């Protein structure tokens, strides 16, 4: 039998990420899109990498939250853990519109930095409740740490980007 709660909680952040990505993400194939004018560091991954990576990370986050919620149903206090999780999810989902729609490079870099901090907080809060749930967050911590460095570097590389100022 399919565990609908597990599927729903795994799919919730994935679905939110997909909707926000569709609404506010880069306009794929549009060579006049603002994103195409950005300068990127040499270590920037190819564009096709981002969607599957984020889909995997959001799915792991969701499943981790399901595992913690199961412990809550068993009587464990999960208030701090779920507050941390909700915070990191909300902060993470604000990055896409801030970067792709508002074109706020420094602000989006600050948001991704806060996202990394909230993921670390989530890992800390999940660990005493469910070690596996905590470890499911490790790939997100690694990727978002990389995204933090990348975000600040992109902001730096584009401070004087004349192509962006022509809009």
Domain ranges in the chain?
Answer: 4-38+52-160
Q: 4-38+52-160 — its CATH code? A: 1.20.1260
Residue 108 has which token pair? 């989006």
pLDDT in tens, 100-115: 889 999 999 999 999 9
- Using CA atoms, how far apart are residues 4 and 133, in angstroms rounded to an integer? 18
CA–CA separation, 15 vs 48, rounded Å?
19
**pLDDT for 120-139, tens place per residue?**
999 999 999 999 999 999 99
pLDDT at residue 13 in the model: 87
Q: Is 159 exposed, middle or buried (0-12, 13-18, 19+ CB in 10 A)?
A: exposed
For residue 136 the two structure tokens come to 């499911």
pTM, two decimals, is 0.90
């Amino acid at each position: 039998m399919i565990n609908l709660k597990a599927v729903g909680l795994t799919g919730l952040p994935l679905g939110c990420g997909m909707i926000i990505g569709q609404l506010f993400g880069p306009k794929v194939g549009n060579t006049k899109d603002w994103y195409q004018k950005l300068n990127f560091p040499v270590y920037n991954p190819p564009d096709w990498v981002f969607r599957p990576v984020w889909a995997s990370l959001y799915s792991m986050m969701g499943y981790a939250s399901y595992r913690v919620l199961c412990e809550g149903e068993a009587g464990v206090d999960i208030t701090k853990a779920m507050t941390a999780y909700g915070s990191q999810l909300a902060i993470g989902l604000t990055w896409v519109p801030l970067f792709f729609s508002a074109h706020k490079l420094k602000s989006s870099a600050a948001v991704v930095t806060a996202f990394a901090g909230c993921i670390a907080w989530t890992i800390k809060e999940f660990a005493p409740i469910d070690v596996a749930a905590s470890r499911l967050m490790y790939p997100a911590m690694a990727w978002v740490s990389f995204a933090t460095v990348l975000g600040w570097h992109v902001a730096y590389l584009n401070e004087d980007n004349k192509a962006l100022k022509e809009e």
